[in-house]
A and B are shown apart, each in its own frame.
Chain A
Amino acid sequence: MKITTLSLLYLLLYTSLSAQEQVTLSGTIKSASTGETLIGATVYIDGQYAAQSNAYGFYSLNLTKGRHLLAITSVSYTAFRDTIDIESDMVRHIQLNDAAQTLEEVVVSANQGRSLSSPQMGVSQITPQAIQNVPVLMGEKDVVKVLQLLPGIKSAGDGNSGMYVRGGAADQNLILLDEATVYNASHLLGFFSTFNSDALKDVTVYKGGMPAQYGGRLSSVLDIKMNDGNNQDFGINGGVGLISAKLNVEGPIQQDRSSFLISGRRTYADMFLKLSNDSSINNNSLYFYDLNAKLNFELGEKDHLYFSGYLGKDHLGVGDLFGLDWGNTTGTLRWNHVFNSKLFSNTSLIYSDYDYKVSISSGVNDFEIYSNIRDLNIKEDFQWYLNNKNSVRFGLHTVYHTIRPGEVTGSENSVINDRLLQKRYSWENALYITNTWKAADKLNITYGVHLSAFSILGAGDFYQVDGEGNVTDTTHYGSGDFVKTYFNPEPRLAMSYQLNEQSSIKASYGRNAQYLHLVSNSTSASPTDKWLASTNIIKPEISDEFSLGYYRNLANNRLELNVETYYKAMQNQIDYRDGADIFSVDNAIEQDLLFGKGRAYGIEWLLKKPAGRLNGWISYTLSKTERQIDGINEGDWYNARQDRTHDIAIVAMYKLNEKWSLSANWVFYTGDAVTFPAGKYIIDDQTTYYYTKRNAYRMPDYHRLDLGATLQLKQRKRWRSELSFSIYNAYGRENAYVIQFQDAEDDPNRTVANRIALFKFIPSVSYNFKFK
Chain B
Amino acid sequence: MISCSNYKRFFAAFVGLLLLSSCEEVIDLDLPGAEKKYVVEALLTNQAGGCKVLLSQTKDFDEDNSRITVSGAQVSIRSEDTTLILPESSPGTYTDASFHGAPGNTYYLTVQIGEETITSTSTMPSLVKMDRLSITREFFVDDYQNQPTIDYIDPEDEENNYRFVLYVNGVKKHQLFVMNDELTNGNHNSTRLFVDEEDLDDEEKIKSGDIVRVEMQTIDKAVYRYFFSLDNSATGENNAATPANPVSNLQGNALGYFSAYTTQEKEVRVP
Contact = CB atoms under 8 A, between A and B. Distances in A.
B26 A679 contact: no
25 contacts: A159-B15, A189-B15, A280-B143, A363-B138, A365-B192, A415-B188, A417-B184, A419-B182, A522-B241, A523-B241, A526-B11, A579-B233, A676-B29, A676-B243, A681-B59, A688-B246, A734-B25, A739-B27, A749-B66, A753-B26, A757-B23, A757-B25, A758-B19, A760-B21, A760-B23
Interface residues of A, number: 84
Interface in B13-57: 13-15, 17-19, 21-29, 31-34, 36-37, 39, 41, 56-57
Contacts of A579: 225-226, 228-229, 232-233, 244, 246-247
Contact of B183 (A286, A358, A417, A756): A417
Contacts of B37: 679, 681, 690
A737 interface: yes
B242 A641 contact: yes
A583 interface: yes
B216 to A, nearest CB: 15
Contacts of B228: 579, 581
Contacts of A760: 21, 23
A166 B169 CA distance: 54
A684 B41 contact: yes
Contact of B33 (A318, A678, A742): A678
A8 interface: no
Interface string B221-239: 0000110111011111111
A679 B39 contact: no
Contact of B187 (A159, A415, A742): A415
B67 interface: yes
Interface string A657-676: 00000000000000000011
A419 to B, nearest CB: 6
Interface in A740-759: 740-744, 748-759
Interface in A314-372: 316, 318-319, 321-322, 324, 358, 360, 362-365, 367
Contacts of A417: 183-187
Given A358-B7, A579-B225, A678-B31, A416 B234 contact: no
Nearest to B22: A758
Given A526-B11, A584-B1, A740-B236, 7 more contacts: A280-B142, A284-B17, A321-B138, A363-B138, A579-B225, A695-B242, A757-B24
A743 B65 contact: yes
B34 A408 contact: no
Contacts of B18: 189, 286
Contacts of B140: 318-319, 321
Contact of B141 (A280, A408, A687): A280
Contacts of A408: 1, 183
A754 B176 CA distance: 21
Nearest to B57: A681
Given A734-B25, A752-B26, A691 B245 contact: yes
A637 to B, nearest CB: 16
Nearest to B1: A583
B106 interface: no
A756 B235 contact: no
A85 B136 CA distance: 87
A364 B58 CA distance: 42
A131 interface: no
Contacts of A416: 2, 183-184, 187
Nearest to A321: B140
B1 A581 contact: yes
B74 to A, nearest CB: 21
A644 interface: no
A321 B13 CA distance: 12
B60 interface: yes
B225 A677 contact: no
A691 B234 contact: yes
A676 B61 CA distance: 10
A526 B240 contact: yes
Nearest to A756: B24
Nearest to A188: B18
Contacts of A365: 2, 190-192
Q: A-B pairs with the 8 shortest C-beta distances?
A: A579-B229, A741-B236, A280-B142, A579-B247, A678-B34, A522-B240, A679-B58, A322-B10
B255 interface: yes
B110 interface: no
A159 B27 contact: no
B57 to A, nearest CB: 7
Which of B6, B189, B244 has most chain A Cβ within 10 Å? B244
Given A679-B60, A758-B21, A585 B183 contact: yes
B129 interface: no
Given A189-B15, A365-B191, A739-B29, A690 B245 contact: yes
Contacts of B187: 415-417
Interface string B171-185: 010101000001111
A360 B23 CA distance: 29
Given A680-B59, A694-B244, A734-B23, A582 B4 contact: yes
A398 interface: no
Interface string A727-741: 000000010011111
Contacts of B61: 677-680, 741, 751
B244 A415 contact: no
A521 B22 CA distance: 24
A615 B247 CA distance: 54
A582 B239 CA distance: 14
A685 B19 CA distance: 32
B24 A318 contact: no
Contacts of A100: none
Contacts of B56: 681-682
A277 interface: no
B93 to A, nearest CB: 12
